[in-house]
């Protein structure tokens, strides 16, 4: 492969602890390839486990946010943080969840111009404030989301997903994590055409 | 069409002055569709003519920059300016010119992580300074480009393309110019597959 | 001349294409001198033609904005962009149009402290948002101008003038365009005193 | 207690899953009180587990950074992120580790004025870049740390601690996490005097 | 003393003009030590006199602001300006005036999370705008303070204290003014315990 | 006069303490008019005295900086702070000291484009860092000025003038201090022509 996927060493599957290898094989089974974040973080198995435990706690959790809305938060804040890996990889997931080939590029570039609802725009405005100016988040920001029907637990979800992917964005930029080529096209064309 | 292409009125082809209609029909002939910028700017024919005259003067001109490099400047600075139309439309053109399905998303998100040469990274660093901090461009910035073999005329091109698309980015955000759906996929898949 | 007017070569009048020379002689006839922007841009005749075509399309156009108000936009946004040429040259034009020796320095330094109407302050607040944060311009910004009686066409004018002079400001900073000494004093003293 | 420790519900110890209660009792045994972060995050047990797993993976790990240096990173970046909880709580830990009553206030306010080594200043400059501008971290930043003897693994530690506490800072500001009163004084006076 | 208190020469008490020495001895008598700002500024006696005359004019003046509130402004804006000396020295004074061991760290780090009244938060929001964005202070900012019962004279006090300590913060950062070790602990523990 | 010179009450000369009235009459004698800063600050006589004592201590002091260079610092930093009064009033003084009708507009708009020496550009780069980012001023900034022959005492002057006019700029923006009309033209035309 001409381009390294990380600035740091990437372990082979054989060299990994069993639990990491099993998780990686499972995702490969499902996606058809191994997303590079799994290989790059596997350089530090304890951090790998903690990151994906956090990830699952937030993304697999029942919530007032749909799975697509959670990905909207990830793509919009990763765009703000200029994180290539998360924009491309979660952009693909978002396109699939929302069955929309356009939405990821819209949200990564300028959420104000995206084909989303006013409720979703309010959600992303909150997420972007947590992303870039968390110190000034206050009751008026909570009230703006309550007005759209979000509960406090939903707001924790919005803030926590933003915070976790703020971590992820910084790690990806730190190690120059490269998105798999496959992600760029996923969800852009009907399955048959691929 | 469910989504308007501009916040302002968009003229029909029939209602346009002959020269505008001819240019639009020519681009439609070549691209297979009419890029929305043509229709949105046609609301003001004199500004349409001036914009495309400027565009042609810079993009069709012989230069030390390749056609692909000129599009790199447009995509990277439009990403910095958060202009959805230019990121998507010129991203498509860039993919085609560079025969690279990945480069546009890389440059729009984070030029430091793109598969380009050090010379091209220097070019984009200069463009991004003209884009966001032109007041502080000085001789040391020129020297950095000279060290990569760029001439003063090349530097004018870099700066002027950045300046023209800074205008374009502002207009597109002002009128909420919508990229044609076709652009999102162009250059991402082999021609046969489309 | 001790100070160059541009970092790039400046053509002699004789060396210019006829249409450029004619335009330059006409402006010299009217102003008494040739504003340096004409000479600096003449280094690239096609770009010269496109720039002045755009300029005329916006500044000579009938509009809900007065000629003085258009210059207010130019001076305030050029101040924000730290463009010496446009602050000084268009400051002179603004003083003459508004018959006010004070207004240009006020607007270039701090529009909030200028002797203008609340309607004009709203116009400039919009222009400055297009200048520095176009990505976040939205319906509430339009509504704020509608409340002062501006039409959508007026708003296009405000945004487009800002965008065009954003281009001009970047070019002027790129080439270190020097204002003619004459501009500094124009409109500051009664005609007889000069 | 007049001031809530979190904007969200805080569970009683009895209501907690066993593993959380045990960890909390252990920290109480050691510190003499329960740091509020444990109670606030216990509102979401899965996120609690993931956060502390990540925390332990980074802070308990053998590293080229001393325990005090890891806390320096936390305090300096939490100061930049304006996170009251982390500045106060980790400031206390830092004072104890470094046996310095002054260092935490110095680092939270202005790392350039702190009583630390040039090597440590370089470490914090890198951390602050990951904190606020990760998108522009590149090889020259790595080289600057290599020059001070940091290895790539040390740099991962610096970046990852910054990223994890960026998450923590955002969560603390999101829920208005209140530092325990005890932290403010810890490490400022000899043990006998308390 | 291992750490210099200023990057510039610091005069001995004997070498000082009488009026400076007398003021310094008086403050030493009261505080038990000589705050380093007195020694550092004594390098320039005329500037010393002017600074403390300004200081006294604002801080000793009868006002709608309490002495504690004036110190709140100093600590919050010095935190924004990242001035170690003023955060530590005036933090001590603030703790003593407000009889609160917590308030200084709260205000220096994030005023939104401090144990203060809504009226005091409005006061600090105004001060922080004068500190960082005075150019945009306008009538709506005055109105927000009037709504909390502040008079125009109170607002002058808020703005002028912010402006004076903006000067002080810049001088302290310029000369690397070191806070006296004593300040760090003042007001944190009951008098008997010290 | 249609435009108030300050948002706050302005005392009559008769109502002033003797020392203030005398200073004001002296400046009126010399300048031919009373600069509005004197009248606006006279609303608070003790602050008036302190401000002008500080002003005189710095501006009348023997220094490695010429009188014109001190005014360059004031004009450039007041431009950065968007302070209309100081840009216009000190711009006039600067034009007179430097016998240059152009220099004030150049420095207030963009010091990089001004007709000044490299040494003066270095001086202003330092002043602008103290103005906008004093927290990061360090030894490398001192070294850059030493390389141009500035002494440490000169650097104190540069920093202190910047700090004092940072105070002045904030007060002027706070009270909407209006420049006297006379200042706008001073130093722009030969004395005979006025």
Give the helix/strand (H/E) hosting B142. Answer: helix B139-146
Residue C182 included in any domain: no
Asked whether the beta carbons of F100 and F112 are under 8 A apart, the reply is no
Q: Answer yes or no: do E110 and A138 touch at CB < 8 A.
A: no
What residues contact F30, with CB distance under 8 A and at least 6 apart? none
Q: Which SS3 state, helix, strand or coil, does residue C150 take?
A: coil
In a domain, E192, yes or no: no
Q: Are F141 and F51 in a shared domain?
A: no
Task: Give yes or no for E113 touching D (CB within 8 A).
Answer: yes
Which residues in chain A have their CB less than 8 angstroms from residue D160's CB?
Answer: 44, 47, 171, 174
DSSP label of B115 = S
Candidates F171, F179, F173; CA nearest to F54 is F171
Q: Taking CB atoms and an 8 Å limit, are D102 and E184 in contact across chains?
A: yes
Tell whether A176 is within 8 A of chain B (Cβ): yes
Q: Mapping DSSP to helix (H, G, I), strand (E, B) and coil, where does residue D89 land?
A: helix
In a domain, E185, yes or no: no
Give chains near B: 3+ CB pairs under 8 A. Answer: A, C, D, F
ipTM for the predicted complex: 0.96
pLDDT of residue A193: 47
Q: Check E138 against C110: CB less than 8 A apart.
A: no
- Return d(Cα C97, Cα A91) in angstroms, integer: 52
Report yes or no on E18 lying in a domain. Answer: yes
Looking at the structure, tell me whether residues B51 and B73 fall in a common domain: no
Task: Name the residue range of residue D34's domain.
Answer: 13-59
Q: Give the SS3 label for residue C100.
A: coil
Question: pTM (2 decimals)?
Answer: 0.97
- What tokens were used for D182? 């005890």
Question: What tokens does E11 get?
Answer: 């005069």
Question: Does the CB of B174 have a partner CB in chain A at under 8 Å?
Answer: no
Inter-residue contact C170 to B159 (CB < 8 Å): yes
**What 3-state DSSP class applies to C147?**
coil
Q: Chain F: give the shortest CA distance to residue C80, in Å.
A: 9
Overall average pLDDT of the A89-101 stretch: 98
- Percentage with pLDDT > 70 across chain A: 96
B166 lies in the same domain as B112: yes
pLDDT for A194? 45
Residues 67 to 86 of D: which have CB under 8 A from any E CB? Answer: 79, 82-84
For A76-106, give the DSSP string: HHHHHTT-HHHHHHHHHHHHHHHT-SSHHHH
Q: Do A170 and D134 touch (CB under 8 A)?
A: yes
Q: Is residue C111 part of a domain?
A: yes
Report how far residue C183's alpha carbon sits from residue C92's, in angstroms, rounded to the nearest whole number. Answer: 6
Domain match, A40 and A124 both: no
pLDDT at E194: 45
Residue B192: the pLDDT is 52
Enumerate residues 6+ apart whose C-beta is below 8 A from F55. Answer: F164
CA–CA gap between residue D156 and residue D148 (Å, rounded):
15
Shared domain for E17 and E103, answered yes or no, is: no
Q: Which residue, among F120, F91, F97, F68, has the nearest Cα to F182 in the 3D structure? A: F91
What is the Cα–Cα distance from A17 to B182, expressed in whole angstroms? 45
Whether F175 contacts F40, CB under 8 Å? yes
Residues E93 and E170 in one domain: yes
Decide if F8 is inside a domain.
no
Give percent of chain B with pLDDT exceeding 90. 96
pLDDT at F152 > cutoff 80: yes
Q: What is the CATH number of the domain that holds B111?
A: 1.20.1290.10
Whether pLDDT at C15 is above 70 = yes
| pLDDT reading at B81 higher than 50 | yes
A·C CB contacts under 8 A: 4
**Structural domain ending residue among the three candidates F59, F77, F97:** F59
CA closest to C136 among chain A residues: A112
SS3 state at A123? helix
Residue pair E82/E73 in contact (Cβ under 8 Å)? The answer is no
Token readout for D150 is: 């940091």
- For residue F87, what are its two tokens? 């840009």
C107 and C47 share a domain? no
With H, G, I as helix, E, B as strand and everything else as coil, classify residue B178: coil
| Closest-CA residue to E3 (of E178, E182, E190) | E178
Question: Which backbone phi and psi does F34 adopt, to 5 degrees?
Answer: -100, 110
pLDDT digits (tens, 9 = 90+) for E59-93: 999 999 999 999 999 999 999 999 999 999 999 99
| Tens-digit pLDDT profile for residues D94-133 | 999 999 999 999 999 999 999 999 999 999 999 999 999 9
Report the C-alpha gap between D55 and D167 in whole angstroms: 11
pLDDT band at F191 (very low <50, low <70, confident <90, very high): low
> Of E22, E37, E59, which one is at a domain's C-terminal end?
E59
Q: Is the pLDDT of residue C191 over 90?
A: no
Do B and E touch, counting CB pairs below 8 Å (3 needed)?
A: no
Q: Does pLDDT of B118 surpass 50?
A: yes
* pLDDT tens digit at each of 194 positions of chain E: 469 999 999 999 999 999 999 999 999 999 999 999 999 999 999 999 999 999 999 999 999 999 999 999 999 999 999 999 999 999 999 999 999 999 999 999 999 999 999 999 999 999 999 999 999 999 999 999 999 999 999 999 999 999 999 999 999 999 999 999 999 999 998 765 44
Residue A126 CA to residue A137 CA, distance in Å, equals 8
Q: How far, in Å, CA of C143 to CA of C140, rounded? A: 5
Q: What integer pLDDT is reported at residue F194 of this predicted model?
A: 45
B166–chain C Cβ distance below 8 A for any pair:
yes
CATH number, residue A44 = 1.20.5.810
| Contact status of A132 with chain C (Cβ, < 8 Å) | no
Is the model's pLDDT at F120 over the cut of 70? yes
Question: Neighbouring chains of C at 3+ CB pairs within 8 Å?
Answer: A, B, E, F
Residues E77 and E35 in one domain: no
Does one domain contain both A96 and A139?
yes
Cβ pair D53:A57 closer than 8 A: no
* Encoded tokens for E32: 């038990």
Which of C180-194, D23-37, D162-176, F135-149 has the weakest average pLDDT? C180-194
Report the 10 Å Cβ neighbour count for D71. Answer: 25
Mean pLDDT of chain B: 96
Strands (E), F41-172: none
Give residue C193's pLDDT. 47
Q: Is B140 on the interface with F (CB under 8 A)?
A: no
Minimum distance, in Å, between the CA of residue F138 and any CA atom of chain D: 8
Q: What's the pLDDT score for residue D191?
A: 63
Number of domains in chain C: 2
Instruction: Give the per-residue pLDDT at B191.
Output: 63
In this structure, are residues E162 and E77 in contact, taking their beta carbons and an 8 Å threshold? yes
Average per-residue pLDDT in chain D? 96
Q: How far apart are CA C6 and CA C173, in angstroms?
A: 10
E40: left (phi over 0), alpha (psi -120 to 50) or beta: alpha
Taking the C-alpha atoms of residue C50 and residue E68, their distance in angstroms, rounded to an integer, is: 62
**DSSP letter for each residue of B102-159:** SHHHHHHH-GGGSS--HHHHHHHHHHHHHHHHGGG--HHHHHHHHTTT--HHHHHHHH
The tens digit of pLDDT for each residue in D142-175 reads 999 999 999 999 999 999 999 999 999 999 999 9
**Alpha helix positions (H), D32-149:** 36-41, 45-59, 67-80, 84-98, 103-109, 118-133, 139-146
State whether D96 and D156 are in the same domain: yes
**F189 is a domain residue:** no
> In the prediction, which pLDDT does A191 show?
63
Q: Give the tokens for residue E147.
A: 């709504």
Q: Which two tokens stand for residue D89?
A: 């709580």
C35 inside 8 A of chain B by CB: no
Cα separation, A91 vs A73, whole angstroms: 11
Residue-wise pLDDT tens digits, A24-72: 999 999 999 999 999 999 999 999 999 999 999 999 999 999 999 999 9
Give yes or no: residues C30 and C93 share one domain: no
Residue A175 · residue A6 · CB < 8 Å: yes
Residues 6+ apart with CB under 8 A from C22: none
Number of Cβ within a 10 Å radius of residue B150: 20
Together in a domain, B41 and B116: no
Closest among B83, A78, F51 to E163, alpha carbons compared: F51
The Cα–Cα gap between C168 and C37 comes to 9
Closest CA to A84 of A23, A191, A169: A169
CA distance B48 to B20: 8
Which residues in chain B touch residue F110, judged by CB atoms under 8 angstroms apart? 135
Position B37 in a domain: yes
Average pLDDT over every residue of A161-173: 98
State mean pLDDT over C37-57. 98
**pLDDT of F2 above 90:** no
């Amino acid at each position: 492969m001409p381009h390294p996927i990380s600035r740091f060493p990437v372990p082979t599957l054989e060299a990994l602890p069993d639990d990491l290898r099993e998780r990686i094989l499972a995702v490969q089974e499902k996606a058809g390839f191994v997303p590079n974040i799994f290989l790059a973080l596997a350089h530090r198995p304890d951090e790998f486990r903690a990151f994906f435990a956090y990830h699952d706690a937030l993304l697999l959790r029942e919530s007032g946010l749909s799975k697509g809305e959670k990905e909207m938060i990830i793509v919009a804040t990763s765009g703000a943080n200029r994180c290539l890996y998360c924009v491309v990889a979660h952009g693909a997931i978002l396109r699939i969840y929302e069955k929309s080939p356009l939405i990821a590029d819209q949200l990564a570039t300028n959420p104000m111009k995206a084909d989303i609802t006013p409720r979703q725009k309010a959600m992303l405005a909150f997420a972007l404030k947590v992303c870039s100016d968390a110190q000034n988040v206050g009751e008026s920001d909570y009230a703006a989301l309550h007005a759209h029907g979000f509960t406090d637990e939903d707001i924790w979800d919005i803030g926590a997903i933003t915070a976790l992917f703020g971590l992820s964005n910084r790690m990806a930029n730190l190690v120059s994590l490269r998105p798999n080529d496959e992600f760029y096209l996923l969800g852009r064309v009907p399955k048959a055409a691929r």
